[in-house]
Amino acid sequence: MSSQIRITIIILTVVVLAGIAGYIFLLPKAYAPESTTETFDLRSSNTLPTGTDTSNEALSQDIQTIEAQLDAFESDNASIEASITDAPVEQGSI
């Protein structure tokens, strides 16, 4: 083999290896999502309609809200269970 061919092969090998290294090390960093650390203070969480009101009436309203959410969850869960156990239906030809 001539020295010109050897040099060409070496240059192509270096270019290919540099391309692979660039792809492996540079591209994932460019598209990596930014890490965000959020802290939540559970003591100030006002997700219920009454907020921080602790009267009996407010607590009763909160209980009703929670029960409504649980009923909606049970309904959704039943729909999911029905779709999982659903049997395929043979369709007729047109």
Task: For the chain, give the DSSP string.
Answer: --HHHHHHHHHHHHHHHHHHHHHHHTHHHHHPPPP------GGG---STTTT--SHHHHHHHHHHHHHHHHHHHHHHHHHHHHHSPPP------
Overall average pLDDT of the 65-79 stretch: 89
pLDDT of residue 15: 94
pLDDT of residue 17: 92
pLDDT of residue 32: 54
**What's the mean per-residue pLDDT of the chain?**
79
Q: Where are the domains of the chain?
A: 1-33, 53-84
